[in-house]
Structure 1
Amino acid sequence: MKLFTPVLFILLAGTIFFLYINPTYLSLQNVLAEQAQFDAALSRSRELQDVRDQLLARYNTFSPTDLTRLQKLVPDHVDNVRLILDLDSMATKYGMRVRNVAIENEKARAQRGQIGPGEEVYESVILSFTVSGSYDTFRQYLNDLEKSLRLVDVVGVSFKANEVGIYDFTLNIKTYWLKP
């Protein structure tokens, strides 16, 4: 009997340990690990909020005029109608009209020759159109196009003569916008 009581207590202690204390301790360790992950995520969230606040403060230092100009320079969406209207208003200053507008999605063209994943933060489109006028007015038009706020690259120019001194100029321009 002297030996029975201590052995019973040892077995009871072992049973309590393996059936209650150890599983509870392991679940507590899991909860503490999750809490550490949440604390790290909360800390990272605060850092990101600080960065966001700094960027927002920096953004707010720009004047509304500068923001409008920046939006026109590199828009965050494709606005082909606005671009065509801008091109036509520039052409109208020189007595020309934009005609035969065609749009080719640059993404489809680029994927044909692409070998790896594209990592650009922008997209582009090629816009083809025709204007008619003299060579001098066309040069002035190109000069205005060069000085416009909208970022465009002239990727192709062709012309054909109609009347004496009047030409049909076909322009291919590439314009860009930021990916959302």
Structure 2
Amino acid sequence: MLVQILLPILFLLTAVGVYFGLTDPVIYGGGLFSSGDSGIVDLREEKKTLTQAMEDAKALQERAAELERQAASISPDNITRLDNFLPDSVDDIQLVVDLNTIASRSGMGLGEVKLGADQTRRRSVERETGQAVPAVETVAVSFTVDGSYGQLKAMISDLAKSLRILEVKQLKFASVAEDGSETGRYKYEITVETYWLK
């Protein structure tokens, strides 16, 4: 009779010991007799994470290939226009030549050109990837032109249509008088800023 009572209790204790000593550590990791390896649950989570990482890597490769195809399809003329629009540096001499060309198309002559110091404008915006947006450098250029109001309007219109980003920051004018009489001509002092990526 003692055997009938003790034997089931012994089997029950053995089953509990096997579960907590062997089965539980295999499923969840850890335990008294474990070798420190991860359990089945941890391995399934790791597999899920690695599978997701592989899918993301494949999607990124496909996106990179698509972007390379798109970049290859851009014509050299458009690339040149884009470089003129927002270059990676500013050629001061070319900038003055461009301004002179714009002024001469309007029938005005460029004079008293002054280049300001470069300034950096950092934007606090970050891309979705967490990378900071590149800093934008600016340089101010002041110059004078002589002409009528109509010529000034034509020049400002040409500045707005220029491939290079030119932002008019300041415009001053004074009447040009000859022998004390009005001539309809003015001397304009214009300050513009241009931009490029740093």
User: Fold match, TM over 0.5?
Assistant: yes
Secondary structure in structure 2 of the residue aligned to 1:86: helix
Gaps of 5+ in 1: 112-116
The residue aligned with 1:30 is: 42
Gaps of 5+ in 2: 29-38, 128-132, 179-184
How many pairs align?
A: 167
1:69-105 alpha-carbon deviations (Å, 9 max, x no partner): 1122134x4x2x32x3332112455453563322474
Secondary structure in structure 1 of the residue aligned to 2:110: coil
Query: Taking structure 2 as the reference length, what is the TM-score of the superposition?
Result: 0.63
Residues 68-147 of structure 1 mapped to structure 2, 5 A cutoff = 68-75=80-87, 77=88, 79=89, 81-82=90-91, 84-93=92-101, 94=104, 96-97=110-111, 99-103=113-117, 105=119, 107=121, 118=125, 127-135=139-147, 142=156, 144-147=158-161
2:190 counterpart (170, 173, 179): 170
Q: Within the alignment, does 1:52 sit opposite 2:64 as a pair?
A: yes
Q: Distance in 1 between matches of 2:66 and 2:112?
A: 44
The residue aligned with 1:7 is: 9
Relative contact order (alpha carbons < 8 A, sep ≥ 6): 1 or 2 greater? 1
Letter aligned with residue 48 of structure 2: A
Query: Taking structure 1 as the reference length, what is the TM-score of the superposition?
Result: 0.68
Q: Distance in 2 between matches of 1:85 and 1:100?
A: 12
Q: Distance in 1 between matches of 2:53 and 2:81?
A: 38
| Structure of greater Rg | 2
- Does the 8 Å contact 1:157/1:171 carry over to 2? yes
Question: Once superposed, what is the RMSD of the aligned Cα atoms?
Answer: 3.7
State the shift of 1:45 in Å.
Answer: 1.9
The residue aligned with 1:114 is: none
Letter aligned with residue 40 of structure 2: L
Q: Distance in 1 between matches of 2:165 and 2:157?
A: 13
Distance 1:97 1:86, change over 3 A: farther
Distance 1:127 1:70, change over 3 A: same
Q: Within the alignment, does 1:155 sit opposite 2:175 as a pair?
A: no
Identity %: 21
State the shift of 1:155 in Å.
Answer: 3.2
Give the number of the structure whose residues are more often helix, by fraction: 1
Q: Distance in 2 between matches of 1:90 and 1:127?
A: 15
